[in-house]
């Protein structure tokens, strides 16, 4: 059982030249906009307020800096891989080329958790802003149809090793039926993504321009209303493990790390880039740098306008604007429109990434062939796209935002750590491969990426780890019962037909 058989980088590079089923339509501006479209959204408009209220207080700024440092190391490693192997598989393909098929499967299965739950998480935040905006217009949607039917509270006496209890206990019925707006937006974006990559990228460019304008307006106006007393104490004293103090800053960084997964999603579009060797590093690193600066600025203004204790809300920026009274009433609808538009682009990029992971895993034989079916007219992986949309709709309709955000964070951190390890390993196993972009000081950058990601994973709650373990166990069953036997790398004499 050769679990660590690898696909050669030369074969992968040759595949880039021969597989022309996906349309190459994205330039550096489109790729950078995709990154900004994914990164600027849930972190600013949803999770910043909740992480500040529950974990870090005004020190959420430090959480963003900590998460940004981990992202910088991971981003440099992603840039090297995406320029060298511009395949839609992203971290999955990079793992296949460096650490072997078994590790690649773990990453691919982990990325399913990342992208599916990311789209669902942001859709829940989108719903909160839409409901708030419609309420101002006099349209009130019954609460039973705007929130999750279940919430989850970790049992206070539960231990990390009691996986079954962490996974099953603590569920509370909210009395709601379904989060209908969240399901609706996922369905509409799925339809758009089936139509074509160029149409989707154009839509994203427009949305990114709108939300960047809105965010800069919020920062410019909000600075004048900052009350410095809201920043004291800047790091609230700890009241429990992971609740304020430095432990809360670390846990907050692990939770809002979800906000940075945009540059990872950029790498899934590598096979649709016009000149991936040049444009992928620009898209990944450019979007990461722009977004980190904006996150820090917004978190400072947000916690300066209103006390962090009031920000545990699905729409924290709306809470901040509403607290300013009639003087800035003109800004309320603008902020909410910007948030709705911005979150829409995040959902779009997350929903774009997942089917392309399916597409590449299917071509490698690890998933059934139906997942690599490309529409003859639209040239998109349409069946995988529709399946992704259907599952994301269900998850968005049923589960609360806090639980979803933590699941996405741990999945993302695991994928990033493996990519950083892959860059380090490949420099020794295949040092002569042409690298259009080289990670600077890889001997330091890659290990630090692994360490930072692992550190942030340790700050996440035990029930999140329990769910990751259960998710991975399901993936291992699928790998050993189907994927391994159908792999393209399986010897022909042993391979079994689909």
How many residues are there in the chain? 498
Contact indicator for 118, 408 with CB cutoff of 8 Å: yes
pLDDT the model gives residue 300: 92
| Cα Rg of the chain, angstroms | 22
pLDDT the model gives residue 172: 72
Please report how the helices 28-39 and 197-222 are oriented relative to each other, as an axis angle in degrees rounded to 10.
60
Sorted by sequence, the CB contacts under 8 Å of residue 413 that are 6+ apart come out as: 70, 254, 257, 453, 454, 456, 457
Q: What is the pLDDT of residues 386-435, one digit of tens each?
A: 999 999 898 888 877 666 666 677 777 888 888 899 999 989 988 888 88
Residue spans of beta strands (DSSP E) within 105-182: 150-152, 171-173
DSSP, collapsed to helix, strand or coil, labels residue 33 as: helix
Q: What is the pLDDT of residues 239-252, one digit of tens each?
A: 887 788 988 898 88
Taking every pair of Cα atoms in the chain, the longest distance, rounded to a whole number of angstroms, is 75
Long-range contacts: 469-477, Cβ < 8 Å, 24+? 469/163, 470/163, 470/167, 471/109, 471/110, 471/113, 472/106, 472/109, 472/110, 475/105, 475/106, 475/109, 475/110
Contact indicator for 379, 88 with CB cutoff of 8 Å: no
Q: Which residue has the higher pLDDT, 196 or 450?
A: 450
Joined together, the tokens standing for residue 458 give 């340790």
pLDDT the model gives residue 260: 74
Q: What is the pLDDT of residues 456-496, one digit of tens each?
A: 788 777 777 777 888 888 999 999 999 998 998 876 444 44
Sorted by sequence, the CB contacts under 8 Å of residue 162 that are 6+ apart come out as: none
For the ranges 254-258, 310-314, 336-340, which has the lowest average pLDDT? 254-258
pLDDT the model gives residue 257: 72
pLDDT the model gives residue 448: 92
Q: Can you tell me the distance from the alpha carbon of 383 to that of 271, in angstroms, rounded to the nearest whole number?
A: 18
pLDDT the model gives residue 494: 44
pLDDT band at 1 (very low <50, low <70, confident <90, very high): low
The CATH class given to the 9-486 domain equals: mainly alpha
Q: What is the pLDDT of residues 178-220, one digit of tens each?
A: 889 999 999 999 999 998 878 888 888 888 888 889 889 989 9
Taking residues 279-298, report their average pLDDT: 88
pLDDT the model gives residue 495: 43
Which residue bears the tokens 């597409």?
359
Q: Is residue 158 predicted with pLDDT exceeding 60? A: no
Q: Is residue 443 predicted with pLDDT exceeding 90? A: yes
Q: Can you tell me the distance from the alpha carbon of 262 to that of 249, in angstroms, rounded to the nearest whole number?
A: 22
Contact indicator for 449, 77 with CB cutoff of 8 Å: yes
Rounded-to-5 percentages of helix, strand, coil across the chain = 75, 0, 25
pLDDT the model gives residue 101: 92
DSSP 347-359: HHHHHHHHHHHHH
Q: Can you tell me the distance from the alpha carbon of 246 to that of 436, in angstroms, rounded to the nearest whole number?
A: 40
Contact indicator for 263, 39 with CB cutoff of 8 Å: yes
Q: What is the pLDDT of residues 4-22, one digit of tens each?
A: 888 888 888 787 777 777 7
Q: Which residue has the higher pLDDT, 438 or 90?
A: 438
pLDDT the model gives residue 444: 93
Question: Distance between the two ends of the chain, CA-based, in angstroms?
Answer: 20
Q: Can you tell me the distance from the alpha carbon of 329 to that of 405, in angstroms, rounded to the nearest whole number?
A: 31
Q: Is residue 267 predicted with pLDDT exceeding 90? A: no
% of residues, the chain, pLDDT over 90: 18
Q: What is the pLDDT of residues 106-131, one digit of tens each?
A: 888 888 877 877 788 788 878 887 88
DSSP, collapsed to helix, strand or coil, labels residue 110 as: helix
Contact indicator for 95, 418 with CB cutoff of 8 Å: yes
CA distances from 64 to 38, 234, 259, 300, 305 (A): 16, 14, 9, 11, 18
Sorted by sequence, the CB contacts under 8 Å of residue 19 that are 6+ apart come out as: 271, 363
pLDDT band at 327 (very low <50, low <70, confident <90, very high): confident
pLDDT the model gives residue 368: 93
The CA dihedral of 51, 57, 61, 63, to the nearest 10 degrees, is -50
Ranges of H-type helices in 233-323: 245-256, 262-268, 276-305, 316-323
Contact indicator for 189, 123 with CB cutoff of 8 Å: no
Joined together, the tokens standing for residue 99 give 């650490």
Q: Can you tell me the distance from the alpha carbon of 43 to that of 65, in angstroms, rounded to the nearest whole number?
A: 13
pLDDT the model gives residue 275: 86
pLDDT the model gives residue 155: 62
Cis peptide before 233 (omega within 30 of 0): yes
Q: Can you tell me the distance from the alpha carbon of 359 to that of 368, in angstroms, rounded to the nearest whole number?
A: 10
pLDDT the model gives residue 405: 60
Question: Partners of 179 in the beta sheet?
Answer: 146
% of residues, the chain, pLDDT over 70: 90
Taking residues 335-354, report their average pLDDT: 84
């Amino acid at each position: 059982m050769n679990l660590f058989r690898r696909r050669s980088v030369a074969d992968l590079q040759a595949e880039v030249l021969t597989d022309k089923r996906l349309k190459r339509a994205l330039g550096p501006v489109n790729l950078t906009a995709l990154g900004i479209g994914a990164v600027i959204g849930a972190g600013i408009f949803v999770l910043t307020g909740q992480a500040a209220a529950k974990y870090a207080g005004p020190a959420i700024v430090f959480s963003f800096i900590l998460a940004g440092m981990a992202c910088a190391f991971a981003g440099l490693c992603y840039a090297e891989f995406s320029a060298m192997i511009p395949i839609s598989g992203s971290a999955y393909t990079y793992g296949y080329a460096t650490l072997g098929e078994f590790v690649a499967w773990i990453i691919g299965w982990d990325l399913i958790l990342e992208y599916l739950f990311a789209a669902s998480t942001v859709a829940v935040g989108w719903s909160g802003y839409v409901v708030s905006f419609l309420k101002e217009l006099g349209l009130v949607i019954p609460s039973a149809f705007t929130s999750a039917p279940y919430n989850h509270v970790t049992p206070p006496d539960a231990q990390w090793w009691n996986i079954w209890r962490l996974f099953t206990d603590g569920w509370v019925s909210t009395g709601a039926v379904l989060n209908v707006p969240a399901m609706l937006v996922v369905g509409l974006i799925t339809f758009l993504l089936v139509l074509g990559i160029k149409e989707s990228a154009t839509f994203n460019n427009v949305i990114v321009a709108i939300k960047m304008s809105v965010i800069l307006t919020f920062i410019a106006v909000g600075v004048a209303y900052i009350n410095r007393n809201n920043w004291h104490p800047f790091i609230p004293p700890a009241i429990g493990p992971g609740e304020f103090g430095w432990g809360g800053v670390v846990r907050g960084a692990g939770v809002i790390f979800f906000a940075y997964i945009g540059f990872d999603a950029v790498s899934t579009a590598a096979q649709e880039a016009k000149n991936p060797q040049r444009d992928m590093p620009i898209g990944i690193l450019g979007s990461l740098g722009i977004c980190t600066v904006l996150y820090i600025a917004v978190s400072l203004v947000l916690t300066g306008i209103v006390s962090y204790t009031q920000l545990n809300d699905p729409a924290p920026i709306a809470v901040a604007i509403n607290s300013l009274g009639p003087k800035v009433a003109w800004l309320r609808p603008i902020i909410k429109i910007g948030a709705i538009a911005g979150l829409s682009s995040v959902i779009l990029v997350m929903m774009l990434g997942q089917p392309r992971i399916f597409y590449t895993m299917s071509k490698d034989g690890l998933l059934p062939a139906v997942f690599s079916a490309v529409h003859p007219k639209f040239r998109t992986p349409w069946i995988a796209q529709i399946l992704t949309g259907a599952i994301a709709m269900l998850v968005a309709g049923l589960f609360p935002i806090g639980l979803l955000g933590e699941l996405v964070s741990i999945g993302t951190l695991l994928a990033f750590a493996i990519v950083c390890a892959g860059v380090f390993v490949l420099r020794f196993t295949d040092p002569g491969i042409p690298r259009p972009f080289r990670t600077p000081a890889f001997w330091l950058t890659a290990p630090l990426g692994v360490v930072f990601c692992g550190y942030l994973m340790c700050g996440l709650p035990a029930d999140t780890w329990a769910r990751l373990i259960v998710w991975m166990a399901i993936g291992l069953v699928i790998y050993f019962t189907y994927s391994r036997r159908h792999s393209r790398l399986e010897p022909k004499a042993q391979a079994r037909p689909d």
